[in-house]
Amino acid sequence: MAISVLLDTHALLWTLVEPGKLSPIAVEVIEDPQNTVVVSSASAWEIAIKYQLGRLPEARSVIDGYHRHLRVLRAVELAMNSEHAIRAGSFDTEHRDPFDRMLAAQSLVEGLPLVSKDSLLRQFDITLIW
């Protein structure tokens, strides 16, 4: 059965540059041609910021070929909108990472499970695949 999934930023990066870090289930879901892989524009923002801050020096090639990488993954880009932003800002949790909050909000609003190793995201009551 085909499903649509949203990739957490680390899942996107690992898919592109370190696929050995992905769980077998994540690989199966991402590589299944019947599934739709969705990538948030928040991930592009997060990668660019963390690269600029020196926290992701290996991300230069990802940034330079970002849209080409998405095409190779057959990924659909999900833009951030005001519904996502309001939901992200309204979570009643102490989790403060704005990127995680946005991805969790998009997961909930769009009804997409999030492919992520980060079990702390469960506090947002989202479905995680790992």
CB–CB of 103/6 below 8 Å? yes
Instruction: Provide the pLDDT confidence category of residue 1 given band limits of 50, 70 and 90.
Output: confident
pLDDT digits (tens, 9 = 90+) for 27-78: 999 999 999 999 999 999 999 999 999 999 989 999 999 999 999 999 999 9
Find the radius of gyration of the CA atoms of the chain.
Answer: 14
CA-to-CA dists, residue 59 to 68, 73, 126, angstroms: 14, 17, 27
- This prediction has a pTM of 0.95
3-state secondary structure of 47: helix
* Mean of all residue pLDDT scores within the chain: 97
Cross-strand pairs, 37: 5, 75
Average pLDDT rounded to a whole number, residues 89-117: 96
User: What pLDDT shows up at residue 18?
Assistant: 94
Q: How many CB atoms lie within 10 A of CB 92?
A: 5
Share of the chain above pLDDT 90, in %: 97
Beta bridge partners of 39: 7, 77
Q: What is the pLDDT of residue 90?
A: 96
For the chain, which domains are there?
4-129 (3.40.50.1010)
pLDDT mean over 73-90 = 98
- How confident is the model at residue 9, as a pLDDT? 98
Helical segments of the chain, H only = 9-17, 24-31, 41-52, 60-64, 66-72, 82-90, 98-110
Mean pLDDT throughout 86-105? Answer: 96
For residue 126, is pLDDT > 90? yes
